[in-house]
Amino acid sequence: MKHLFDLTGKVAVITGGTGVLGSELSLGLARAGAKVAVLGRDQARRDAVVEAIRQAGGEALGVYCDVLDQASLLTAREEVLNQFGTVDILINGAGGNQRAATTSPTLSFFDLGEEALDNVVRLNFMGTLLPTQVFGEIFAQKKQGVILNVSSMAALRPLTNVIGYGAAKAAINNLTQWLAVHFNKHYSPQIRVNAMAPGFFLTEQNRFLLTDEQTGELTARGRTILEHTPMGRFGEPADLVGTVIWLVSDASAFVTGIVVPVDGGFSAFAGV
């Protein structure tokens, strides 16, 4: 059983690897034996994640990368290949939301700015597509590899307020299925593409929706979410690691084209 989930000798690239969730996933991949390339724009954060992995006995490389800039992605790919020789796993973890693209009592749907909405949709959708083009080319050439996209509960069930974010994540679900078929049909049945849809975690992108900035108390939205989450709590970043290891390891060798909720039962609960 340990062999099924073992990533020893594998090279994993993770975009958004310095965020609240991404840093935990980077550490989890390293603990499972993978060499981890942590991609992100903030050097201090990259260095902190890489140091944490090395302190735990793992091997990691921090690489500057803007997921919306193909030249930056190509440079990052070259740096990873120079250091590790290949790539076996790609996790598309970069994404996020903006307050200016989110409806609220002080910002109506009719007043949402085009630029803010475009930024959110582009970051989440194109920020998944472009890295897949650049790093997926390695998989097409070697006829083997695993891609894991990070979707959201907002993709499975339309949630109030987060219009651009939800639409972009829904597009990622469609893209995941399309890529799974495309890679199998045109390149190799040994290339798999899946996604996971986290439920509600306190991250930089949604903290302003779930907790009050001044008091730290739950907002009305935060309370409603917990009331509709059978397990009665927000997720912890570590709650995602097991699902990720399963989806990128040989334990899921016959699994492709799916979206796995990790949500404490939120998507199963109708509210009554």
Query: Is residue 176 one of the residues assigned to a domain?
Result: yes
Query: Is residue 130 one of the residues assigned to a domain?
Result: yes
Question: Does the pTM of the predicted model rise above 0.85?
Answer: yes
Structure tokens at 47: 């260095």
Query: Is residue 229 one of the residues assigned to a domain?
Result: no
d(CA 170, CA 205): 17
Looking up residue 177, the CATH number of its domain turns out to be: 3.40.50.720
Of the residues 84, 135, 165, 183, only one is catalytic, namely 165
How much is the pLDDT for 214?
Answer: 80
Residue appearing with tokens 């049909």: 185
3-class state of residue 244 by DSSP: helix
- Number of other residues whose CB lies within 10 A of the CB of residue 77: 21
Query: Is residue 16 one of the residues assigned to a domain?
Result: yes
Give the pairing of strands 191-198 and 259-262.
parallel
Query: Is residue 55 one of the residues assigned to a domain?
Result: yes
**Which residues of the chain are modeled with pLDDT < 70?**
204-206
Query: Is residue 215 one of the residues assigned to a domain?
Result: no
d(CA 267, CA 45): 32
Query: Is residue 268 one of the residues assigned to a domain?
Result: no
Domain that holds residue 50: 2-199+235-260
Please confirm, yes or no, whether 165 is among the known catalytic residues: yes
Count of the separate structural domains present in the chain: 1
Sheet holding 11-15, edge to edge: 59-64, 35-40, 11-15, 89-92, 145-150, 191-198, 259-262
What is the phi/psi pair of residue 120, to 5°?
-70, -45
How much is the pLDDT for 174?
Answer: 98
How much is the pLDDT for 2?
Answer: 82
How much is the pLDDT for 209?
Answer: 76
Concatenated DSSP letters of 211-237: B-TTT-PBPHHHHHHHHT-TT-SPBPG
Query: Is residue 205 one of the residues assigned to a domain?
Result: no
d(CA 39, CA 223): 34
d(CA 126, CA 57): 34
Question: What are the residue ranges of helices labelled H in 42-189?
Answer: 43-55, 70-84, 114-121, 127-142, 153-156, 163-186
